[in-house]
Amino acid sequence: MVYLYLLFRKTAMSNSKFKVGICGGGIGGLCAALALSRYDDIDVDVYESASSFSEVGVGIGIWPRVWQILKELGLEDALLKVALEQPSNSEVPTFNYRKSDQTSGIDITTMYAKSGGLKPFYRPDFLNVLLQHLPDRFNLYVEKRLTSYTLSATGSVEMQFANNTLATCDLLIGADGIKSTVRRTLFTREAQHCGDESRATEIKSTIDAVWSGITAYRSVIPTDVLSKHYPNHPIFTQPTHYLGRNAHVIAYPIAQGRLVNFAAFSARYDVDNPKFEGPWTSTAPKDELKDLFAGWEPSVLALVECTGDPLKWAIHTVKPLHSFVSSNEPVVLLGDASHACEPFQGVGAGQAIEDAYILAAILGHQKTRKDNLIHMLSVYDEIRRSFATDVARRSRAAGKAFALHSEDLYFDPSKLQDLQQLLESVRQRWEYVWDSTLRIDGNLKLIV
Ligand SMILES: Cc1cc2nc3c(=O)[nH]c(=O)nc-3n(C[C@H](O)[C@H](O)[C@H](O)COP(=O)(O)OP(=O)(O)OC[C@H]3O[C@@H](n4cnc5c(N)ncnc54)[C@H](O)[C@@H]3O)c2cc1C
């Protein structure tokens, strides 16, 4: 066990409450609010641009490493009420992997995970649990789209919103997702003041997210529709990942078995920095999926047949950032705003939750926050940035393996043993999500 001590200057307690403004009420922003609610001397205002706090109606999986954090935040009972599976600490099968881009598929392997494996949730249920646990003393605002911020003479952050309103806070947390306005404002300001043209260009080059070459198609299928079409479909009892060259499909039950989460992916690994024209999300005709999976095995065709027109999603990622925090202003990024990655580790939301947990612990521990804020933020950056960058790299490598590509392994896709080796490389990249925990004790000892 590694102990990393985070030491801060001890000074007298200040009486005034420290005000945190959180831009973005997704999983990252609401988890940050929840984690900060453990400290009575911190007040939080959450500003969400949408007209309500909501999530798209698809599934999300949470691994044991993040489940431990959610338990510590007091969410276990409420989350288990909306979870499909009951808790288990044993080794459990996660996904069954098949090579499916042929009429008769090949069973490759079943991946086992320790400590209960992946807990699937319906995203709106998950978000509701977070909302229900926020204290009344916190203010939640909707229809508040941040457009920019500036710094006041006293050092507080002045936020400007699209409806011509203003608000202030002592610390601004940018949890506003992949297209983050906080990231844009922060890096524009850093580039303006860095005094070096090539450095400024470098900083600005990370403002816009880039297309990963992956397109996702997402939908949920009513279980009764699928079972009429394909009685005893394998995914009713075993979450399955169907693999093929340049495309793959994941399906598993959610919402206490009422629905099946369906996610299909097509991948372009043949070009560097592929460009995506058009809207990032749209509704695609189901025929696009039928074309993509023509000739695949029957269990995949049945899933495609039973989806409606799916939500099509060009998966963009945030380039590795030089920092998750401002060098001299009380502004910090978390979640997808700082490290949106390809979704092939099942950890994007988990990463946002880890960010929120660590940031809150650092802020909560120190009572004279205003004096030490820039240093505290740099500690957060130190802990989270290299880790998140590594997760993004692993996630891309896992995605490649699912589309039957590999950067470091020669394999013949017609040989079972080679396919098993490919999946073993994924298992090794993944195992930290069930093999490790992240906990901070009362003395701000980070136990990893
Ligand atoms: C296909 C796919 C599958 C995935 N599956 C999983 C999975 O199984 N497990 C997992 O852990 N992760 C998964 N992820 C990743 C996960 O969904 C994201 O990483 C996570 O939702 C990020 O949360 P966030 O709060 O940082 O950002 P978001 O969820 O994007 O929330 C940002 C919020 O900020 C608001 N906002 C934006 N701009 C402004 C503004 N200017 N002012 C105010 N508010 C604003 C938005 O409306 C939104 O509510 C998946 C991702 C994809 C694409």
Residue 36 lies in a domain: yes
**pLDDT value for 10:** 39
Pocket, ligand 1, Cβ cutoff 6 A? 23-29, 47-50, 60-61, 144-146, 175-177, 181, 216, 218, 263, 315, 335-337, 343, 346-350, 352
**pLDDT value for 6:** 43
Instruction: Give the model confidence (pLDDT) of 150-161 as tens digits.
Output: 999 999 999 999
**DSSP strand E in 90-129: where?**
92-99, 106-113, 119-122
Residue 313 lies in a domain: no
Confidence check: pLDDT of 86 > 80? no
First to last CA, the chain: 7
Confidence at 441, pLDDT banded by 50, 70, 90:
low
Residue 342: CA count within 13 A, CB half-sphere: 23
Ligand 1 atom closest to Cα of 47? Answer: 43
**Ligand 1 pocket test: which of 176, 321, 357 has the largest number of ligand atoms within 8 Å of its C-beta?**
176
Residue 177 lies in a domain: yes
Confidence check: pLDDT of 334 > 50? yes
**pLDDT value for 345:** 81
* Mean pLDDT, residues 332-338: 98
Instruction: Give the model confidence (pLDDT) of 44-76 as tens digits.
Output: 999 999 999 987 766 788 899 999 999 999 999
Confidence check: pLDDT of 162 > 60? yes
Confidence at 199, pLDDT banded by 50, 70, 90:
very high
Higher pLDDT, 174 or 86: 174
Residue 71 lies in a domain: yes
**pLDDT value for 277:** 83
Number of compact structural domains in the chain:
1
Residue 308 lies in a domain: no
Residue 118 lies in a domain: yes
Task: Give the CATH number for residue 79.
Answer: 3.50.50.60
**pLDDT value for 230:** 95
Residue 121 lies in a domain: yes
Structural domain harbouring 405: 3-209+318-447
Return d(Cα 53, Cα 141) in angstroms, integer. Answer: 9
Complete DSSP assignment for 216-270: EEEEEEEHHHHHHHSTT-GGGTS-EEEEETTEEEEEEEETTTTEEEEEEEEE--S
Residue 263 lies in a domain: no
Instruction: Give the model confidence (pLDDT) of 129-141 as tens digits.
Output: 999 999 999 999 9
**pLDDT value for 12:** 39
